[in-house]
Amino acid sequence: MAGNTFTWIEIYVQDLERAKAFYEAVFGFQLEKLESQVPMWAFPSDPSQWGAGGALVHMPGVPSGGSGTLAYFSSVDCISEEGRAVAAGGSVKQTKMSIGPFGFISILVDTEGNAIGLHSMA
């Protein structure tokens, strides 16, 4: 296999506007509306760069939260997003902790009950 293992990540939500506001407040970027058969707001991405794109998705009949898969967002310093997550209606499940030479991680819970990870080297 060539290239990245993952090409796309979807985070299922129940209230798309509430979730969109949360992610924009925590990460400081704007999501882009995708033309699709189901409502989707895409995270910023650049196909020429390393990593995978993704979107918030409201899929009727598909619950949000607790799937056993954790998507990690890149961060300069996890502690920054931790504070913004709480202010935006989410919570911190695991505050910033060291993973040795691989940097640091935090685990947040969004407004829809989804756990998401943060990864930083500082």
Its pTM stands at 0.90
> Taking the domains of the chain in order of start, what are their residue ranges?
8-120
Q: For the chain, how many residues are written?
A: 122
Instruction: Give the span between the Cα atoms of 14 and 60, in whole angstroms.
Output: 8
What's the pLDDT at 7? 80
Residue 77: name the closest of 56, 97, 49, 57 by CA.
97
Partners of 64 in the β-ladder: none
Mean pLDDT for all residues in the chain:
92
- The one-letter amino acid code at 20 reads K
pLDDT digits (tens, 9 = 90+) for 43-58: 999 888 888 888 999 9
Looking at the domain 8-120, which fold is it? Answer: 2,3-Dihydroxybiphenyl 1,2-Dioxygenase; domain 1 (3.10.180)
